[in-house]
């Protein structure tokens, strides 16, 4: 009977096409179409598409009677939305992670070692890079590198913490990096980081003062600082690193870290794209591209291999700054550039987020700004000059206050600046109103809340939790949220984002009552953060974010109803279109 009805419907469509006037490329019908247009909460049946643009959305009979299509898609009552966007992700970091040692979920340092051994026995690389360890899973003690030194004495080993704001390096790599010389030479490294030692954390600011004193007594050569990590007797007060470096302390190591071949990175980037499309993600706000990775993106877009809509935030490297000054706002096919990414502080998990008061579990430490105030002002002026959006990583309540005050100055000059605070994880409730006052857009990642809830209160103490992961409060101030995942720190799965935002639970439905459930947002608000609001936060509301006549036919259709329930419901895309072209199908 079902087969007969399908044949009958096809026959009717074919017959009716002879009677219609206007040709289109595609009609999706028998659907549940959510336009996400402000003030329009209707659910429509059908949509007509031509030349990559939306021609009309309306009732089934109206669209089928008015248009004749080359192709028809029966949605079978599936939910259809504007293409979902991850408003804060790291495609390049994820591409590298996929070809590195996977350390996510390791319950002990020994498990890390086993995974590294297995990886290296298979790939036999001249260097080892891994990502994903989290010391909070084995008691919150930072690892040391003795075992790495024993196993890999003559190749570089670099293992990134899950948040990317700390790494564990072996002595071979530390020695090659000439860290003490770099710390003294670069004034931007004089604050904003530390390394671990047997005597405890060594702050860069304190270290540089000691190095300055040592350098005035003896020349660098006699100290052998450039040749060895072993500190001589004269400099015995400088503690030897035990492997972990946090935030700016990582920079000398990152500067010499080998990278994977470009062909491997390109292939891995395609795998990242396929995974995102599988979840109905049609675009990513790529949160920080250096000039080398930016070139790779441009090549892959030119070759039409990278199909996702990419809103690229450039890092302020000299080459990227020159590009912005020379090119201004720049679009090539599906790649759009008009913003800079700036790092204001570190991460809460590695105690690098800059807090107004010391950490509850480390009373002598408040975190730090990773970009100096002087450099921040230079970037502010650069954004003023180029018209680029300033998107600042700000996690601690002190960093958020500093940046919101700076943004308020910009608001006086241009109320529609749309500068963003990336993460906005810990905000003093007394400063919530600064989001409205400054016009800043909070760009948040709901899964951070449900991942961090295991240890967040230990870092902050009970009193500061009121301003932690306060998405509803931030939305009420700004009127919108740009919502993403921060992958690969978190999973790419937008349905875990929904579960975290609406139910305030992780994918394992913990905690059962929800983490700070009073800060939950609604399902519609979460989807707006991945559609209309994400488009506004990237100056692309004229092209995407809603399903309207004349806009790009960038569409996500999902296999199961898009809902939020008390228990996590997995879901995937059934069909994905970008500018009217089919880029993914579950068939």
The pair of structure tokens assigned to 272 is 């990242």
Same structural domain, 60 and 104: no
In this model, does residue 571 exceed pLDDT 80? Answer: yes
Residue 540, pLDDT above cutoff 50: yes
Average pLDDT on 334-355 reads: 97
**Would you say residue 514 has pLDDT above 60?**
yes
Mean pLDDT of 257-262: 97
SS3 (DSSP) at 423: strand
Q: Which residues span the domain enclosing 357?
A: 262-582
Q: Examine residue 30 and state whether it is found in any structural domain, yes or no.
A: yes
Question: What band does 303 get if pLDDT is binned at 50, 70 and 90?
Answer: very high
Question: Which of 210, 229, 256 is the endpoint of a domain?
Answer: 256
For β-strands 335-343 and 330-332, DSSP reports them as: antiparallel
Q: How many CB atoms lie within 10 A of CB 11?
A: 10
**391 and 414: one domain?**
yes
Angle between helix axes 291-302 and 318-327 (nearest 10 degrees) is 50
Q: Which residue has the higher pLDDT, 118 or 214?
A: 118
Return the ∠ at Cα 416 (arms to 414 and 417), rounded to 5°.
70
Residue 14's pLDDT is 52
Element (DSSP H or E) covering residue 566: none
State whether 45 and 134 are in the same domain. no
The pLDDT score that the predictor gives to residue 237 is 66
Region 261-265 average pLDDT: 97
Q: What is the mean pLDDT of residues 126-148?
A: 95
Query: Structure tokens of 514?
Result: 């929800």
Asked if residue 6 has pLDDT above 60, the reply is no
Q: pLDDT value at position 217? A: 38
* Prediction pTM value: 0.93
Same domain, 425 and 329: yes
Confidence of residue 214 (pLDDT cuts 50, 70, 90): low
Q: In the 3-class helix/strand/coil scheme, how is 223-246 assigned residue by residue? A: HCCCCCCCCCHHHCCCCCEEEEEE
Residue 235: pLDDT over 80? no
> Considering the chain, what is the average pLDDT of its residues?
93
DSSP string, 122-181: HH--SSEEEEEE-GGGGTSPPP-SHHHHHH-SSS-EEEEETTSSEEEE-HHHHHHHTHHH
Residue 13 pLDDT > 70, yes or no? no
Band (187; pLDDT cuts 50, 70, 90): confident
Average pLDDT over residues 526-543: 98
Q: What is the CATH number of the domain that holds 576?
A: 3.20.20.140
94 inside domain:
no
Residues 339 and 484 in one domain: yes
pLDDT tens by residue, 70-121: 999 999 999 999 999 999 999 999 999 999 999 999 999 999 999 999 999 9
Counting the structural domains of the chain, the total is 3
Domain boundary among 44, 77, 110: 77
């Amino acid at each position: 009977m079902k087969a007969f009805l399908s044949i009958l419907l096809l026959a009717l469509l074919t017959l009716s096409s002879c009677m219609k006037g206007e040709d289109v490329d595609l009609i999706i019908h028998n659907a549940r179409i959510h336009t996400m247009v402000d003030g329009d909460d209707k659910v429509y049946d059908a949509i007509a598409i031509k030349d990559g643009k939306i021609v009309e959305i309306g009732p089934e009979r109206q669209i089928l009677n008015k248009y004749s299509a080359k192709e028809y898609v029966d949605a079978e009552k599936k939910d259809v939305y504007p293409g979902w966007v991850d408003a804060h992700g790291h495609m390049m970091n994820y591409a590298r992670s996929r070809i590195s040692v996977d350390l996510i979920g390791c319950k002990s340092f020994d498990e890390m070692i086993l995974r590294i051994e297995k990886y290296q026995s298979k790939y036999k690389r001249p260097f080892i890079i891994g990502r994903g360890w989290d010391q909070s899973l084995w008691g919150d003690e930072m690892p040391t590198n003795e075992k790495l030194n024993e196993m890999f004495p003559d190749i570089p080993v670099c293992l990134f913490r899950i948040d990317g704001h700390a790494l564990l390096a072996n002595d071979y790599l530390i020695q090659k990096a000439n860290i003490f010389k770099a710390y003294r030479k670069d004034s931007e490294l004089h604050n904003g980081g530390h390394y671990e030692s047997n005597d405890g954390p060594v702050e860069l600011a304190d270290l540089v003062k000691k190095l300055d004193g040592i350098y005035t007594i003896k020349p660098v050569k006699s100290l052998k600082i450039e040749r060895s990590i072993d500190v001589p007797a004269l400099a015995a007060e400088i503690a030897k690193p035990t492997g972990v470096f946090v935030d700016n302390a990582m920079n000398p190591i990152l500067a010499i870290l080998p990278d994977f071949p470009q062909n491997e990175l390109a292939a891995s980037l395609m795998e990242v794209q396929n995974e995102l499309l599988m979840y109905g993600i049609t675009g990513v706000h790529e949160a920080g591209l250096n000039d080398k990775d930016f070139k790779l993106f441009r090549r892959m877009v030119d070759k039409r291999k990278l199909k996702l809509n990419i809103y690229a935030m450039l890092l302020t490297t000299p080459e990227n700054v020159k590009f912005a000054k020379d090119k201004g706002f720049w679009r090539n096919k599906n790649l759009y550039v008009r913003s800079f990414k700036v790092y204001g502080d570190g991460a809460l998990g590695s105690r690098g987020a800059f807090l107004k008061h010391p950490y509850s579990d480390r009373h002598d430490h408040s975190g730090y700004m990773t970009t100096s105030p002087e450099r921040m002002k230079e970037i502010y002026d650069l954004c003023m000059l180029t018209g680029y959006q300033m998107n600042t990583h700000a996690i601690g309540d002190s960093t958020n206050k500093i940046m919101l005050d700076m943004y308020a100055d910009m608001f006086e000059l241009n109320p529609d600046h749309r500068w963003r605070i990336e993460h906005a994880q810990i905000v003093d409730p007394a400063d919530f109103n600064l989001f409205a006052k400054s016009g800043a857009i909070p760009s948040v990642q709901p899964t951070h809340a449900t991942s961090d809830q295991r240890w967040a209160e230990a870092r902050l103490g009970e009193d500061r939790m009121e301003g932690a992961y306060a998405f509803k409060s931030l939305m009420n101030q700004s009127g919108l949220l740009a919502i993403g995942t921060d992958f690969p720190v978190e999973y790419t799965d937008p349905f875990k984002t929904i579960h975290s935002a609406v139910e305030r639970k992780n994918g394992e439905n913990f905690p059962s009552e929800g983490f700070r459930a009073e800060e939950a947002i609604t399902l519609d608000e979460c989807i707006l953060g991945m559609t209309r609001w994400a488009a506004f936060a990237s100056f692309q509301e004229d092209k995407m974010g809603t399903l309207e006549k004349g806009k790009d036919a960038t569409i996500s259709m999902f296999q199961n109803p898009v809902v939020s329930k008390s228990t996590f419901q997995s879901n995937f895309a059934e069909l994905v279109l970008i500018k009217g072209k089919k880029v993914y199908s579950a068939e």
